[in-house]
Amino acid sequence: PFLYIASSPILFYRQSAGHRKKEADQTTTMTRLFLASLTLTFAACSAWVSPNNPPTRSDSIRPKSPSSRGRREFLAIVGSATPWLVSSPASAAAAASSQQEKDKANIVAGYNRLQYFLDNWEAETTVCNTGQETTFGDKCERTPVKVMEYLGFKSMKDPLFKAEVTMKRLKDIVPSDSEVEFYDAIDSFYQNAEEANSMAFVSSWGESNPGGGKDRIQLFIERAKKNVVASRDSLKTVMDILELKP
């Protein structure tokens, strides 16, 4: 037993040394394979000639090696990409400026549409069905659909679609002394537009509700008009702050 115990450290040392040598050999082999692969890749890239670029007259006069040709093409590609990389910040600034101008135009267009809507309120909120009588025997009736349409609730292409988001994108050009007034106007527009939309929706179901009738429809339409007026005024406040002309 004493001999076995005494010889155990020696055996362990030999096994450990052998294991370390095996790992070192594996590492050396992997390194050599990697270097060989890298060398072959570099050689293939250097010798590559684009089939879309046949030799020109200058190439025939002064032949150049495939490796130099490959390097020239690589540098040409890098050089052509450099202006794009340099101009990226300028392109981003141009895109931001374009969005800003579009937002301004939408606010002005939305304001002008609301002004037209209010100037022609009776005609725009009345629908006449030729040759067809309504529930109460007449051919024309009030409709609240145009309220939702002019406030941007019916189409994503409307200039006032999510107008509060549009206006907030212009916060960077708001004078510092007008920031409170600017955000108050946005809040006012949002609240009145939502309330007008709600009044219009309730009005559209006026005849279906118990005790409903034409008078109830007209009542809610006229309530919605007050909110449309307030929404227009809020837009005008924003336009004045941003120095936009109708």
Helical (H) or strand (E) element with 20: helix 2-47
| pTM above threshold 0.85 | no
Q: If we measure between CA atoms, which residue out of 215, 222, 220, 223 comes closest to residue 136?
A: 215
| Cα within 13 Å of Cα(120), Cβ side | 10
pLDDT at 86: 47
Residues 151 and 111 sit within 8 Å (Cβ to Cβ) = no
Rg, the chain, Cα only: 38
pLDDT at 96: 77
Looking at this protein, which amino acid is placed at residue 176? S
How many C-beta atoms lie closer than 10 Å to residue 231's C-beta?
28
pLDDT at 129: 74
Averages of pLDDT over runs of 10 residues in the chain (246 residues) are: 42 47 62 64 51 45 49 55 54 80 97 97 86 59 88 95 96 96 98 93 65 72 93 98 96
